[in-house]
Amino acid sequence: MKRPFISLLFFLTLLLSNFSSQADTPFITMASTTSTANSGLFETLLPAFSNDSGIEVRVVAVGTGQAVRIARKGDADLLFAHHRPSEEKLLKDGFGKERFDVMYNDFVLVGPKTDPAKTRRCTSPSLAFKKINESQRVFVSRGDDSGTHKRELTLWQDAGITKPGLTGRWYRSTGTGMGTTLNIASGMNAYTLTDRGTWISFKNKADLDILCQGHESLFNPYGVIALSKEKFPHIKYAQSMKFINWITSAKGQKIIADFRVAGQRLFIPNAK
């Protein structure tokens, strides 16, 4: 009669011990982008850092705009993002001391292989966007204030089309991450802007193809910032700098360089 009680007691002791062990593990919280998380890079990169440092990295993957807002509230120790103007504004406002280059890839315009808007091999993304607008072919936007969405709006502006002009049945805003937006674009056989890393990792390409790429306006740099200890006394600054020093080291940069999906490199390391 006592054995079930002893078994239950043993199970609870084991559970509490495991919980205590997890609670004692040093960790830092990193606000990052969905595009980086969707690529699968963190699944390779972060365990390697934890193995070397004993520090766990807990990622909050959201759009860049929301990631910056999380950082400004002090709800993360680190910001890993890909919208340089937002990152520099964060530093200017005193929420961090320095931004470190980590890696880059690029944005690509994808759309139907038949390319009804005739954007393939465009001389510039702005010309391609202008053709999509003129043809009123469906374009699916993330619409979530992410780095990709911010770049998309800049490209529309370069094409002479301001935000009030992005309306009607041809322009669809999802308010979601890159993976979901690509799924919707695939289902609608529509155009969209995506980072190359997510595109390579994306499995449901259907009839979509890369139509415009390689222009300087599509360059997509990623940087990391440790938040200010003076601004937020609770920030784990020392552990955050350990991560930054590691990811910008020869070992961290090599892991990024070696990371591939379907044989294709997703990011180019560029730490100085």
Tell me how far CA of residue 191 lies from CA of 48, 83, 152, in angstroms.
37, 22, 12
Q: Per residue in 202-230, pLDDT tens?
A: 999 999 999 999 999 999 999 999 999 99
pLDDT tens, N- to C-terminus, the chain (272 residues): 444 444 444 444 444 444 434 456 799 999 999 888 888 999 999 999 999 999 999 999 998 899 999 999 999 999 999 999 999 999 999 999 999 999 999 999 999 999 999 999 888 999 999 999 999 999 999 999 999 999 999 999 999 999 989 998 999 999 998 999 999 999 999 999 999 999 998 999 999 999 999 999 999 999 999 999 999 999 999 999 999 999 999 999 999 999 999 899 999 999 98
CA distance 9 to 247: 43
Q: What's the pLDDT at 123?
A: 86
The structure tokens listed for 39 are 């690529």
Q: What's the pLDDT at 255?
A: 98
Number of neighbours of residue 224 by Cβ within 10 angstroms: 24
Q: What's the pLDDT at 24?
A: 67
Contact 34, 66 (CB under 8 A): no
User: 260 - beta bridge partners?
Assistant: 265
Q: What's the pLDDT at 5?
A: 43
CA distance 117 to 131: 6
Choose among 211, 205, 181, 197: nearest CA to 256. 197
Go through the chain and tell me how many residues it has. Answer: 272
Determine how β-strand 171-173 pairs with β-strand 56-62.
Answer: unpaired
Burial status of residue 100 (CB atoms within 10 A of its CB: 0-12, 13-18, 19 or more): middle
Widest CA span in the chain: 81
Q: What is the pTM of this model?
A: 0.83
Q: What's the pLDDT at 4?
A: 44
Rounded to a whole number of angstroms, the distance between the first and last alpha carbons of the chain is 67
CA distance 125 to 117: 13
Q: Which domains does the chain possess?
A: 3-104+221-269 (3.40.190.10), 106-218 (3.40.190.10)
Choose among 267, 191, 271, 183: nearest CA to 224. 271
Produce one character per residue of 77-97: b if its CB has 16 or more CB atoms within 10 Å, e if not. Answer: bbbbbbbeebbeebeeeebbe
Q: What's the pLDDT at 35?
A: 81
Produce one character per residue of 104-143: b if its CB has 16 or more CB atoms within 10 Å, e if not. Answer: ebbbbbbbbeebebebeebebbbebbbbbbeeebbbbbbb
Q: Which residue type occupies 151?
A: R
